[in-house]
Amino acid sequence: GGGGKGIRKPTGRDDFENLFRQVQTEVPGSPIFLMKYADSCRHLEVQILADQSGQAISLFGRDCSIQRRHQKIIEEAPAIIAPPEIIEQMEKAAVRLAKMVNYVSAGTIE
């Protein structure tokens, strides 16, 4: 889904099965991804620009951790919560990804 649709935190097996069925009906036909719950983490992302000639640049990393119902309400840039080396690695990885998939446009890598 987008905008946080489908994000759930099950508390046990029965809860997982019920929540999984809920998500299936909310986002029919969409792939469903499962991941281990990460407590006390931050939502960092990188904005990019890419053109038809294969060039891509990172505009900046940003911190989108302030959310309500899994939707971003504040996007802070540049991201200062992580060490500069980590942000630089994220930005380089985002540019590599954009080039690998021949992405064209403005975009966000989360």
pLDDT tens-digit readout, 73-94: 888 899 999 999 999 999 999 9
Position 6, amino acid: G
pLDDT at 107: 96
Q: Are residues 8 and 25 in the same domain?
A: yes
Q: Are residues 24 and 48 in the same domain?
A: no
- How is 31-63 classified by DSSP, letter by letter? --------TT---EEEEEEE-TTS-EEEEEEEE
Q: Are residues 67 and 83 in the same domain?
A: yes
pLDDT at 36: 87
Average confidence (pLDDT) over 53-67: 93
Kindly indicate the confidence band of residue 27, based on its pLDDT and cuts at 50, 70 and 90: confident
Q: Are residues 46 and 100 in the same domain?
A: yes
pLDDT at 59: 95
Q: Are residues 50 and 103 in the same domain?
A: yes
Tell me which residue range forms the domain holding 105.
Answer: 42-109
Q: Are residues 96 and 48 in the same domain?
A: yes
For the chain, what is the domain count? 2
Q: Are residues 85 and 32 in the same domain?
A: no
Average pLDDT, the chain: 90
Three-class DSSP category at 61: strand
Q: Are residues 25 and 79 in the same domain?
A: no
What token pair was written down for 81? 């919560």
Q: Are residues 9 and 63 in the same domain?
A: no
Q: How many Cα atoms sit within 13 Å of 86 on the Cβ side?
A: 11
Q: Are residues 47 and 12 in the same domain?
A: no
Q: Which residues pair with 50 in a beta bridge?
A: 56, 105
Q: With 80 as the cut, is the pLDDT of residue 70 above it?
A: no
Q: Are residues 77 and 105 in the same domain?
A: yes
